[in-house]
Amino acid sequence: MPYQTVKGTYDLLPEKMKRFNELETLFRSFLEIYGYSEIKTPVFEYTGVFKKENDTSDMVTKEMYTFSVNEKDSLTLRPEGTPGVIRLIIENKLYGSMELPIKMAYIEEMFRHERPQKGRQRQFTQMGIECIGDKDPLIDAEVIALGYFYIKTIGLEGVKVLINSLGDTESRLNYKKELIDYFTPYKDQLCTDCQSRLLKNPLRILDCKIDHENPVVQNAPKMKLNEVSEEYFNQVKHYLDILGIPYEIDDKLVRGLDYYTDTVFEVVSTNEESGSQATIFGGGRYDDLVKEMGGPQLSGIGFAIGLERLLILAEAEGIFLESEPYLDAYVINLYENNDQAMKVAAMLREEGFITEMDYYHRSLKAQFKSSDRKKARFVIIIGEDEVKNETVTLKDTLTKAQEEVPVKELCERMDQLLEDYYE
Ligand code: HAM
């Protein structure tokens, strides 16, 4: 059997890789505009970075790639970006040296042992931001805005912003108690996952994929925010209104990770192509995570976009950010050696022209075929006469005009022809 990619992983062939890069480049320009600095954390960390005591999320309890090499340290492949960023901030004491809030971003591979399907891999890429050090509704709205306007700039249709508030620690504790009291008599009617979530994290029962149509879940009491949390959430909504970001309030949105407090949000696609994996990105605020990980009491908020899901949707909607690949110049070499062709190609590249040359000394026809296939704008032909005269034959493939040009004047002449053409 020939080797194949491992289930849930994939290759990126040149065309897809290019689209990936385009989406990343646009994301990076948003990071710059909004003042986020990109960082990279290691692909694996000590397991404790991701796994907290009493964690109930599927990601931590079932999906992490955890291993040990020397039977001493338990290590885990990064399943999400947030904890690594916080570890980095604490380890480097950035809260002492940088102005708050600290605005960090990452584009990194993540690993989760999930059941693979369209839009859900075991290795995937997240583009994420974390804004750590201050708690203000203005920041929540700004974080959502960065992600939302990025998606809108790509041009995706049918994008919906869902928001909810899980309340501050006090509201959450009260709500947790209320849910435990409510669900306990119905425990037998819940799925096995929810039965084990009941005491540890009853909020997760609300967005359980198995139980979501169960009347017991549908009739569960709603979150009652305390006054502070309510006012906070109202302010977030107010700023979203000011920014012109449409949103829906989804009171069952609790998100799959345990650390969220107050604002949580997801941006989902209504495009059928996204199938059951409609969440393009998700995120929320976390008041206690930095402290829990050994840092000071600093609140943070962030989100992560799944790059593969974004690509599926962009392709389904026929969106490509850049034009098809093409060449500025293809150097056809008919001379007995490669010296002059190499020199000319090097000169063109130095001047920024995207250039390729023939490596095989093929017939003129075969070389022209290659230049056609690669969509070269100019063809540069070098034969015996041209080498003798220190010239090249320059052919413009759009106007079909052909002329002999001294090598020294080639770049200038190409610039001139382009300028005349686009005038
Ligand atoms: P998450 O909801 O687990 O949040 O993941 C964020 C996004 O990553 C999802 O909306 C989805 O687009 C993508 N994603 C997740 N799992 C997969 C998968 N198996 N295959 C393909 N794409 C996937 C987090 O990871 C949080 N760290 C987000 C955050 C940042 N919250 C605060 N700051």
CA-proximal residue: ligand 1, atom 15 (nearest): 306
In this prediction, residue 208 carries a pLDDT of 85
Q: Give the mean model confidence (pLDDT) for residues 175-194.
A: 92
| Reported CATH class of domain 14-168+226-316 | alpha beta
pLDDT of residue 325 exceeding 80: no
Mean pLDDT, the chain, rounded, equals: 93
List phi, psi (to 5°) of 3: -65, 145
Q: How far is the CA of 329 from the centre of ligand 1 (A)?
A: 42
pLDDT tens, position by position, 128-168: 999 999 999 999 999 999 999 999 999 998 899 999 999 99
How far, in Å, is the centroid of ligand 1 from the Cα of 267?
11
Instruction: Tell me the pLDDT tens digit for each residue of 296-309.
Output: 999 999 999 999 99
CATH number of 327-422: 3.40.50.800
Nearest C-alpha to atom 2 of ligand 1 is from which residue? 282
Q: In the predicted model, is pLDDT for residue 185 greater than 70?
A: yes
Minimum mean pLDDT among 160-174, 314-328, 395-409: which range? 314-328
Of the pLDDT bands very low, low, confident and very high (cuts 50, 70, 90), residue 261 is very high
14-168+226-316 shares its CATH topology with 327-422: no
Which of 126, 204, 266, 271 has the most ligand 1 atoms within 8 A of CB, as the residue to mutate?
126
Whether the pLDDT of residue 193 is over 90: the answer is: no
Q: How far is the CA of 257 from the centre of ligand 1 (A)?
A: 10
Average pLDDT over residues 265-294: 90
126 Cα: distance to centroid of ligand 1 (angstroms): 7
31: CA distance to ligand 1 center in Å?
18
For the CA of 81, the nearest atom of ligand 1: 27
Which residue ranges make up each domain of the chain?
14-168+226-316, 327-422
pLDDT (0 to 100) of residue 323:
61
Q: Which atom of ligand 1 is nearest to the CA of 128?
A: 30
pLDDT of residue 85: 98
Residues 328-337, mean pLDDT to the nearest whole number: 96
Q: What is the best residue among 309, 310, 311, 313 to mutate for testing ligand 1's pocket, by most ligand atoms within 8 Å of CB?
A: 309
Q: Whose CA is nearest to atom 13 of ligand 1?
A: 306
